[in-house]
Every structure is written in C-alpha cells, then in structure tokens.
Amino acid sequence: MSERSDTRGRIVDHLGGDYLRQALENDVRTGLTASPKWLPPKWFYDAAGSELFSRITRLAEYYPTRRELEILRRRAVDVAGLTRADTLVELGSGSSEKSVLLLDALANTGTLRAYTPVDVDAVTLEAAAQRLAVRYPGLDVRPVRADFERHLALLPRTGRRLVAFLGGTIGNFPPAAREVFLKELRAVSRPGDTLLLGTDLVKDRDRLVRAYDDPQGVTAAFNRNVLRVLNRELDAGFDPEAFEHVAVYDEDNEWIEMRLRATRPMTVPIRALGLTVTFAEGEQMRTEISAKFRRDGVIDELSRAGFAVCRWYTDGFGDFALTLAAVPEVTG
C-alpha cells in the first residue's frame, strides 16, 4: 500500500506494484483458454473505453443512467434523512457525478463529514477530489485506489457510513459472485451503516437488447475496445474489426450477454503471455453479463447477506431501482 499527495489529503493506494498487470494477465490466461472463451468487463475501461461508455450513457436507447439519476434527484433527501450518514463511500466512483446528489443531501441534513471515492484509476480519483474540494470546502475527501472486488476489508470503517454501489454494476457479477460480494460487504460493515444499491430491472427483451446494441455502433466500439487494451498491454495481435458485436438476452438467467463473434478463422498471439489463441469463424467470446433484477430477488439476496432492506425506490417508468439496506443495530 502507498499514499500519494492530493489537494485534499492523500490517495490511499492498494494497487501498487504490478497488481493490475497481474490481474489482467490472470484474467486473460484463464478466460481465453476456457471453453467457451470469456473476458471480464473491467478491462473495457481504459481512457478510450471510459469515453465510449460516457457516450453510451447519453444514447437514447441506454436508459439506466437517466433513470438512476431521476431516482437520486427525487430520493437523495430521503436517503440522507434515513441514514444520517456522516461518511459516503462510493464503490466504482468514476467521476463522482452521481454522488454529488447524495453529498448535497447529506450536507443539507447536517451530517456529512467525509467522502471516500473508491476506484482503480488514480487520475480519475484525483480529478474528482479536486472538483469536490471546491464544491465542499470543509469536506474530508479520502480517495482510495482499490479493486472493490478484492479490497473491501481495506476500506476505511470510521464514521457512520453510507456505501453507494450505483449504476447497476452489481449485475456484472454472476449470482455466486454477487452472493460472496454482498456477504463480504456485510462482514466489513458495522451496525448503523447502510448500503444504497443500484439495479437494472427486468423488462421487455427488445428494450434491453437495444440498450446494449445501439444503431450508431457506440456500444460495438466499446465492446471491441477490450481487444485494443489487450493489444497494447499484452502485445496481443487482435484485429478488433474482425469481431462483430453481439448482444443477446438470456431469458433463463435474466441477463444481457455482450459477446464478440469472430468473422473468420484467426490465430491470435498474446506475446506477453507466450500464449496463442485460436478462433473458429463464428466463435463467440463473452465480454460482459449484465443481470436484470426483480424486487423480490434483490430483497432476498440482500437479506441472505445480512442486510435489512429499508426502502425500495424506482423511477417513474419502473426501469431501474435503488435499494436502501441497513446493517441492523445490535439489540439486547
């Protein structure tokens, strides 16, 4: 672990050394030697990938960001009043744009003391901390560079915390991984802490597919970008344009799958790993799952992890949900 100076304090860095490089190598070796092949979605997000995703959130077809913002604008004051949190912890904070709505509500409630944004990108953390230092002069900003799938136990536990996990990112986890993640989060939470969880909801199949396969091709470019990341970071030999973007809805699992489909037979060297990967024409590689949820299922998963659900908030269309859950106070 290391610390780097920031305008508001220090970035606590749990990703020092070769952590990200080793994680990438392990994921690529494991996923591309599996049958069927797969890659985790976390590797979409280099600078180009982040910009493409920002464009996706502004597409007419991609509703989740707009719907979640609608809920936050309407319900942040209620969340602040119920939680009385003095510390907001945001997992996968990115630019911290959504968190401003929660920070404003907590500040107006009079409880806000600290904000801990958690992300893998130090540049993004620093930029967000600088912006927030201007907006909230007295706020104690405590940025943490970490992989929230691995480092929950290393996050600060001081104060009465509201942990925000927004954007429907929980849907990128398969069910078993979701169960582990929520139980680990509960294990490092204290009585009085709360969780605000964003989940995309089950809806019409065609609307779901359109949200992940826009006619402008922005999502397709985002999907292919993972191959450019591998080319740059692992000296791989992918031709991204030789892969077609595929988005399908799995009715049984109630999730969207994004895939890349080879348009011709290929032999791809991944030189940094001493690995050669072959693709048959038409072979598909999964790059993301995005699970869609139902109210009963969300409540059940949180309850089994040890959280007590307090509120269920949805937008006016019933497309997206924010669930507020608490760690029960010790009684007796």
Non-local CB neighbours of 246 within 8 Å, separated by 6+ positions:
213, 257, 258, 259, 260, 261, 284
Residue 331 has pLDDT above 90, yes or no: no
Domain co-membership, 233 together with 86? no
Indicate the SS3 state at residue 128: helix
CATH classification of the domain holding 75: 3.40.50.150
Domain co-membership, 160 together with 297? yes
Greatest extent of the chain over all pairs of C-alpha atoms, in Å:
67
Angle (CA) 225-226-228 rounded to 5° is 65
Domain co-membership, 8 together with 87? yes
Mean pLDDT of 287-299: 98
More confident residue, 69 or 5: 69
Task: Please give, one letter per residue, the 3-state secondary structure of 248-278.
Answer: EEECCCCEEEEEEEECCCEEEEEHHHCEEEE
Convert the pLDDT of each residue in 40-87 to its tens digit: 999 999 889 999 999 999 999 999 999 999 999 999 999 999 999 999
pLDDT for 4: 46
Q: From CA 275, how far away is CA 269, in angstroms rounded?
A: 6
Domain co-membership, 177 together with 306? yes
How many folded domains does the chain comprise?
2
pLDDT for 7: 41
For 75, 78, 219, 236, 277, the CA distances from 28, given in Å and listed in that order, are 40, 43, 21, 11, 11
Convert the pLDDT of each residue in 147-190 to its tens digit: 999 999 999 999 999 999 999 999 999 999 999 999 999 999 99
Q: From CA 137, how far away is CA 63, in angstroms rounded?
A: 33
Structure token digits, residue 142: 């405590």
Domain co-membership, 306 together with 183? yes
Angle (CA) 20-25-29 rounded to 5° is 150
Domain co-membership, 105 together with 196? yes
* Domain hosting residue 160, numbered range: 2-12+63-204+292-326
Domain co-membership, 77 together with 139? yes
In-domain check, residue 190 = yes
Residue 5 has pLDDT above 60, yes or no: no
Give the H/E segment covering residue 295.
Answer: helix 295-305
Q: Check if the beta carbon of residue 61 is closer than 8 Å to that of residue 303.
A: no
Convert the pLDDT of each residue in 179-234 to its tens digit: 999 999 999 999 999 999 999 999 999 999 999 999 999 999 999 999 999 999 99
Q: What is the pTM of this model?
A: 0.94
Other Cβ atoms less than 10 A from the Cβ of 42: the count is 18
pLDDT band at 330 (very low <50, low <70, confident <90, very high): low
pLDDT for 316: 96
Non-local CB neighbours of 56 within 8 Å, separated by 6+ positions:
62, 214, 218, 219, 222
In-domain check, residue 305 = yes
pLDDT band at 116 (very low <50, low <70, confident <90, very high): very high
Domain co-membership, 78 together with 176? yes
Convert the pLDDT of each residue in 8-53 to its tens digit: 457 899 998 789 999 999 999 999 999 999 999 999 998 899 999 9
Domain co-membership, 191 together with 226? no
Q: What secondary structure does DSSP assign to 4-45, as a single string?
A: EEETTEEEEES--TTHHHHHHHHHHHHHHTSSS-B--GGGG-
In the chain, count H helices and then E strands.
Answer: 9, 15
In-domain check, residue 24 = no
Q: Check if the beta carbon of residue 289 is closer than 8 Å to that of residue 257.
A: yes
Domain co-membership, 283 together with 308? no
How are strands ordered across the β-sheet holding 255-262?
243-250, 255-262, 284-291
pLDDT for 248: 98
pLDDT for 121: 86
- Rounded mean pLDDT of the chain? 94
Domain co-membership, 103 together with 6? yes
Mean pLDDT of 245-264: 98
Q: From CA 51, how far away is CA 266, in angstroms rounded?
A: 29
For 285, 287, 323, the CA distances from 32, given in Å and listed in that order, are 8, 11, 35
Q: What secondary structure does DSSP assign to 160-196, as a single string?
A: SEEEEE-TTGGGGS-HHHHHHHHHHHHHT--TT-EEE
Indicate the SS3 state at residue 137: coil
Q: Check if the beta carbon of residue 132 is closer than 8 Å to that of residue 125.
A: no
Domain co-membership, 43 together with 74? no
